Structure 1
Amino acid sequence: MTDTSWLGPAIDVRPLLAEQQAAFIDLLRRLDNGEWARPTICPGWSVKDVAAHVLGDHIGRLSMHRDGYHVLHPQDGEAFPGFLDRINDEWVTAARRISPPMLIELLSAMGNQIVEFWQTVDLDTLGGPVRWAGPEPVPYWLDVAREYTEYWTHHQQICDATGRTGLTGPHYLGPVLDTFLRALPHTLRDVTAPEGTTVQVNVTGPSGGVWTCTHGSDRWRLRPRAHQQPTVNLYLDVDTAWRLCTRGITPAQAVERTHIDGDRQLATAALQIVSIIWSPPKPEAWEF
């Protein structure tokens, strides 16, 4: 049996999917013509482009994992993040011919099918990797949680672009942060440290929590909250946390917004966390 205990306890976000889907469609129906065209934090993408990207995600998920239809693959020598960027851009470019009313109609239909699809999946079964959590196969509970965080993130990007608050209460954002912080062990994978070295991330505010990552005999692992003094404690608010994990802000900006108590170099390594597919320059290995 494959050990995935290093990811921490399982979570089930499926009860939130229908609510998030309904809120997303309601958000899109309230947009005026000018708001559809507003730029977002996604370089080169308007609000409409971000919505079209979500539609592409829905169609891709249903086609591949429900219908078993696999036709897109990286080209020779193409890294997976580059492949993903390419096919996302190709989709969004093609989807620009879709009108906003038709886009809403398609998102409503496909989003409802996504909600139904995830109810049929055994969350404890191993699927493929969630690449920001590591290269190993992981249980489907993390896969669906990853999908929920992507829906939520794009919802918030549209809200930011149009001056709306969005789904920032604990009911929605709490599970997002709980999912994002599952990237900590993979984030620290190149940090060489004595066994028992502990990083504790404290996200403050009603949607926050405490995540503890400890270096074991074989790898970094998420553990219950440390009883002993961690090697480093990081304190950051919920807005900093989710924007860092989705690269809405850079690690350098996050350092300025984070209180660090303990080993600052180890804290800097932890703040490289990213919970989306990302193509940063490869850093040198961290050693302590």
Structure 2
Amino acid sequence: HEALMALLRDLSPGEWQQPTACTGWTVRDVAAHLLGDDIGKLSAARDGYRAGWFEVNHWEELVVAINTANEQWVRAFNRISPQLLCEFLDSTGPQVEDYFATLDPHAMGGSVDWAGPEPAPVWLDLAREYTERWHHQQHIRDGVGKAGMTEPRYLHPILDTFLRALPHTFRTVNAEPGTLIHFQVTGPAGGDWFLLREPMQWQLYATTDRQPTTMVTVDEESTWRLLTRGIDREMVKAKLRVVGDEAMGFHLLNAVSIIA
């Protein structure tokens, strides 16, 4: 929160109007969207206010509904000045942090949609909230040419959260039980993740003694931009190094860790 506020308060009037990777949105629009995230979380989760929720039956409906709601919110905030937007964010941000601090991270909560339809632990939903705010702040930083928050203490948790989409991404990939894919993300914030085919599903592990049947290597920036649909997949494909089953390794390109 502190980094976001320092970033926004340092922007010139022209920088607020710079385009971002979010198609059709300026820096100011992305900031308004972040305010919407805060207000939505406080209203629905903290205060139990459910008006305006929508019923959906499948992923495509969810994407359309969320995108429509986001566009309506951003358009409605066109009359709000950057100064007032900062004041609102400076109020809601600490309230969201205080609310998150009241939660039991080990309790079970709702699903994290891009990780699958099953109930997920609260810590994963909190991690998703972190990724939402981090990657939109990156959009702002990219838009105004400011350095990103890519130090390992910020980016490694992002990668670790985003890659939890892999079991869901690979759910339709048939493989013999025991098949193991080693994903190696290079760079200071990178690491190793292991996707194992078990009898009924794929499961992600941080470590394993097994020998991988396929190894996929990609750099950290390409990874997070791929998983947030912020880079052309063909550009990432050109950077991927796959040893073993190429079709299985390149299936990483289908992964997405946002609702899009």
1:236 equivalenced with 2:215 (yes/no): no
1:193 equivalenced with 2:175 (yes/no): yes
Within 2, Cα distance between the matches of 1:167 and 1:194? 40
**AA at the equivalent of 1:70:** R
Structure 1 residue 67: deviation in Å? 0.4
Structure 1 residue 225: deviation in Å? 2.6
- Unmatched 5+ residue regions in structure 1? 1-20, 279-288
Q: Secondary structure of 1:96's match?
A: helix
Report the counterpart of residue 119 of structure 1 in structure 2.
101
- Unmatched 5+ residue regions in structure 2? none
Of Structure 1 and Structure 2, which has the larger fraction of its residues in helix?
2
8 Å contact kept, 2:30–2:136: yes
Structure 1 residue 273: deviation in Å? 1.1
The alignment-based identity, stated in percent, is: 47
Within 1, Cα distance between the matches of 2:241 and 2:55? 43
Within 2, Cα distance between the matches of 1:213 and 1:168? 25
User: Could you give the per-residue CA deviations for residues 88-141 of structure 1, whole angstroms, max 9, x where no partner exists?
Assistant: 000000011110000000001101111111000001111111000000110110
Report the counterpart of residue 97 of structure 1 in structure 2.
79
User: Using CA pairs below 8 Å that are at least 6 residues apart, which structure has the higher relative contact order?
Assistant: 1
Within 2, Cα distance between the matches of 1:137 and 1:256? 36
Structure 1 residue 174: deviation in Å? 0.9
Q: 5 Å matches for 1:126-141?
A: 126-141=108-123
Within 2, Cα distance between the matches of 1:166 and 1:30? 15
Report the counterpart of residue 53 of structure 1 in structure 2.
33
Report the counterpart of residue 32 of structure 1 in structure 2.
12
Within 1, Cα distance between the matches of 2:22 and 2:213? 35
Report the counterpart of residue 155 of structure 1 in structure 2.
137
Aligned residues: 258
Report the counterpart of residue 204 of structure 2 in structure 1.
222
1:82 equivalenced with 2:64 (yes/no): yes
Structure 1 residue 144: deviation in Å? 0.5
Within 2, Cα distance between the matches of 1:274 and 1:232? 20
**AA at the equivalent of 2:229:** R
Q: Secondary structure of 2:109's match?
A: coil
